[in-house]
Structure 1
Amino acid sequence: MPTYLISFLATLGGIAFAFGLGKLLGRHQRAAASEFSGQALSLIGGVLLSSFILLTGFQVAGSWSALSTARSRTYDEARALTDVYWASGGLADTDRTKVRTLLMRYTDEVVSTEFPALAKGRTSPAAWRALDDVRNAVNTAATPRSDQQVAKATAQSNLATVYQTRADRAAEVNASMPLITWLALLVAGGFLIAFPAILGLVDHPRNLVGLCFVGAAVAFAICLTAQLNHAFQQPFAVRPTAFTFAEARFHQMD
C-alpha cells in the first residue's frame, strides 16, 4: 500500500469517527446554557486541546530526535569508511588492493541490500560478513615498515568506529516510543473530537462539518507522529545518501 495513502485513509478515518459521534451524540438534548457557562466550556476544551498538543509534541520531539540521530550516524560511519580507505593507501600494494576492494563491496552491500532490509526491521547478515572480511584483511595486512604500521593502526581505529556506528544502527531499527504514550495520545485525540458532540453542539450541519475538520486534523497528526517513529521506514526514512557519497570518495581517492 502506498505510504501516503495510509495518511489519507487515517484522515478519512478521523472524519468518519467524528461524523459518527456527531450523529449519535448530537441527537441528545443539548445541555442547557445554565448548566455550562462559557468559561467552563472554554476551560474543559482548553485542557483537552493542551493535553493532545503536549502528548503530540512529546512524541514528535522524541521521534524526530531519534530520526536525526540515526541519520547523523550514517554520516559518521561513511566518514569512518573513507578514512579506512584513505589509510589503506599506506599498506603494501596487495593488501591495499584487497582492503579497498572489500570496502567497496561492503559499502555497496549497505546501499543495495541493507537499507531495504532496515525498512523491514532488520539488518543485513551479508553486510555484517562483508565488514568482517574488511577487518580480517586489515588485521592480516603485513607491515614490515613503520609507515605501514601507522597506516594499519589508523585503519583499525577507524574500522572500530564503523563497527560502533553500525551496532548503533542495528539497535535503532526497532526502537520506538513507549506504547503507553501512544495509548494516551489516542485517548486524548478521541476526547478532543468527542467533546463538542458530547455537549450537543453539533446538531447543525455546519457545526458537524467543523467537527469533521477537527477529526481530520487529529487523525493526521497522530498518523504523522507514527510515521516519524520509524527512522528507516518511508516517508521520512533515513536514506543511504552518506554511503553513496562514500562510494564517490572512494573513486576520487583511487
Structure 2
Amino acid sequence: MTTVLLGCLAVFGTGAAAVAGALLIQRTVPARMRYDFGMYGALTTALVVSTFLLSAVAMGLFVWGAVNRASSGVVQEADALLDLYWYAQTIEGPQAVRLRSDLRDYTTHVIRVEWPTMDETGALNPRSWQLARQLRHDILTISPENSGAAIRYQDALRSVNTVFQVRRSREALTTTRIPPLMWVALLSTGALVVVLPMLRGDPRPAVRVVLAVVGAATVAFVVFLLYEVNVPFTGNVKVTPAPLEEALRSFADIDAFPGNRP
C-alpha cells in the first residue's frame, strides 16, 4: 500500500471509531454528567491538549534531528568520495587505477545493495564495510614523493576517515527510534484529546459526532506522520542516496577530463 492510502485508512478508520464512541457516550453517559464535564472540564481539557501538542512537538524535533543528521551524513560521504576520486587523478600507476576502481565499486554497492538492505533489515551491509576498508588500505599504501604530494595525501586521509565516520553515524541512525515513553505520552494524551470533547460537547448527536471526527482525525494524522518518519532510512518517507548517485555520475565526468583517463 502507498503512504497516502495507509494515511487515509488510519485517519478515516480512527474517525469512524470515534463516531461509534461518540454515539455510545451519547447513549450511556447521563446528560447531567455531560453537563458537569462541560462546566468544569475546560481546564483539564486545555491541559490535555497542551500535553499532546508538547509531546508531538518533542517527537517532531527528535525525528527532525535524526533525519537532518542522516541527510547531512550522505552529503558528507558523497563529498569525501569525490575528493578521493579527484585525489586518484593526482597519482599514477596501478595504485591510481585500483583506487578509482575501488571507489566506483564502493559507491555502486552502497547505492544498489546497502540502501535496500538498510530499508529491509535496519542494518548496514557487511560487504560495504569490506569495500570501505579496502579504500582505506588503498590510501595507506600510497607513499607521497614530495611536499605537494604529502599535502594532498593528508587531505585524502581525512576524506577516507570521513567516510568511516559517516558510516558509523549511519549505522547508529539505522537503529534510532522515537523512545517508547514518548509514544506512550502521545497516544495516551491523544486518546484523551478525542474522548474529552465527546463528554464536554453539545448534547446534540450531530455536534458530538463532528467533534469526535475532527479530534480523532487530527490525532491519527499526527501519529501516522510521526510513525512514517520514525526511522531515517526505513519506510515510505526516508533519506535517499541521491548525493551518492550524483557522485557516481561525477566519477565519469572526472575521467573524461583531458589527461585524467586511467
Report the AA paired with residue 93 of structure 1.
G
CA contact (8 A) 2:111 2:245 kept: yes
- Partner of residue 94, structure 2: 94
- Partner of residue 249, structure 2: 248
- Partner of residue 176, structure 2: 175
- Partner of residue 125, structure 1: 126
Report the AA paired with residue 175 of structure 1.
T
**Where do 5+ consecutive residues of structure 1 fail to align?**
none
CA contact (8 A) 2:26 2:203 kept: yes
Q: CA offsets per residue over residues 82-109 of structure 1, 9 Å max, x none?
A: 1111122222232111101110111111
Q: Trace 1:133-172 onto structure 2 (pairs within 5 A).
A: 133-172=134-173
Report the AA paired with residue 13 of structure 2.
G
Report how far residue 75 of structure 1 moved: 0.4
Normalised to the residue count of structure 2, the TM-score between the two structures is 0.88
Report the AA paired with residue 117 of structure 1.
T
Report the AA paired with residue 60 of structure 1.
G
Task: Work out the CA distance in 2 between the residues paired with 1:185 and 1:50.
Answer: 11
CA contact (8 A) 1:90 1:147 kept: no
Residue 96 of structure 2 is aligned to residue 109 of structure 1: no
Structure 1 counterpart SS, 2:240: coil
Task: Work out the CA distance in 2 between the residues paired with 1:248 and 1:225.
Answer: 34
> Compared with structure 1, are the counterparts of its residues 100 and 202 closer, same or farther at alpha carbon in structure 2 (3 Å cutoff)?
farther
CA contact (8 A) 1:173 1:231 kept: yes
CA RMSD of the aligned region, Å?
A: 2.1
Structure 1 counterpart SS, 2:116: helix
Task: Work out the CA distance in 1 between the residues paired with 2:101 and 2:149.
Answer: 18
Which one is further off, 160-169 or 1-10? 1-10
CA contact (8 A) 2:14 2:220 kept: yes
Structure 1 counterpart SS, 2:237: coil
Normalised to the residue count of structure 1, the TM-score between the two structures is 0.91
CA contact (8 A) 1:102 1:130 kept: yes
User: Percent identity among equivalent residues?
Assistant: 26
Report how far residue 145 of structure 1 moved: 4.7
Q: Trace 1:24-43 onto structure 2 (pairs within 5 A).
A: 24-27=24-27, 28-31=29-32, 35-36=36-37, 38=39, 40-43=40-43
> Compared with structure 1, are the counterparts of its residues 33 and 176 closer, same or farther at alpha carbon in structure 2 (3 Å cutoff)?
closer
- Aligned positions, number: 253
Q: CA offsets per residue over residues 44-88 of structure 1, 9 Å max, x none?
A: 221121111111111111111111111011101111111111122
Q: Trace 1:38-77 onto structure 2 (pairs within 5 A).
A: 38=39, 40-77=40-77
Task: Work out the CA distance in 2 between the residues paired with 1:103 and 1:157.
Answer: 15
> Compared with structure 1, are the counterparts of its residues 36 and 214 closer, same or farther at alpha carbon in structure 2 (3 Å cutoff)?
closer
Which one is further off, 42-51 or 172-181? 42-51
CA contact (8 A) 2:37 2:200 kept: no
CA contact (8 A) 1:92 1:148 kept: no
